[in-house]
Amino acid sequence: MLNCVPLLLSWSPVQHTRSGVLGMSTLAQSMLQCQRWAIIGDVLNQQKPASEVVACLRDAGKTTHLINPRDKTGTLHKQLTDVGEPIDAVNLIINSRDGLTQVGQMAQCGIKQLWIQPGAGSDEITTLAAANGIEVHHGCVLIDMGWRH
């Protein structure tokens, strides 16, 4: 069950789940109302966009759980199942091989909202998400939230 506050709109210029055509989809708008996010990627590397996604969501007052399957610092979760707290939405900003595993864990954790950053998606991820009732939005959260660092 989605634990986010629904965003009520009377009209939306975009009826699909990709950003950047005429505006943000209603799914993206609804997902941005979610408060508890997991960001999966190279979140500690300031040279990577994943760290900006973390900063953007935190600046918006979101709770963020940082996940990197390749973490060597010992400060991050390596997988979604390690978090141990409710998560409303996942921002996937990692290569699709690792992303596929994480989407499988989303199903185990009951997370139903997946935001896939450009370059992180694959047909396999989309198929697995659909098979598990996970809603998918393809787009850049930085652009859709108007992030300026």
pLDDT in tens, 82-119: 999 999 999 999 999 889 999 999 999 999 999 999 99
Q: 67 lies in a domain?
A: yes
Task: Tell me if 31 is assigned to some domain.
Answer: no
Helices (H), the chain: 26-31, 49-59, 96-109, 123-131, 141-144
Residue 8 domain-assigned? no
Full domain range(s) for residue 118: 36-144
Whether 98 maps to a domain, the answer reads yes
Residue 25 vs residues 11, 51, 92, 117: alpha-carbon distances, Å: 11, 24, 18, 15
Domain at 86, CATH number = 3.40.50.720
DSSP sequence for 85-118: S--SEEEEES-HHHHHHHHHHHHHHT--EEEE-T
**Distance from C-alpha of 44 to C-alpha of 126, rounded to nearest angstrom:** 26
Q: Which helix (H) or strand (E) holds 41?
A: strand 36-41
Token pair for 23: 């505006």
Does residue 14 belong to any structural domain of this protein? no
Tokens matching residue 114: 């997946």
Using one digit for the tens of pLDDT, what is the confidence trace for 16-33? Answer: 344 444 467 889 889 999
Residue 15: inside a domain: no
Domains in the chain, number? 1
Find, among 61, 60, 94, the residue nearest to 77 by Cα: 94
pTM of the model: 0.83
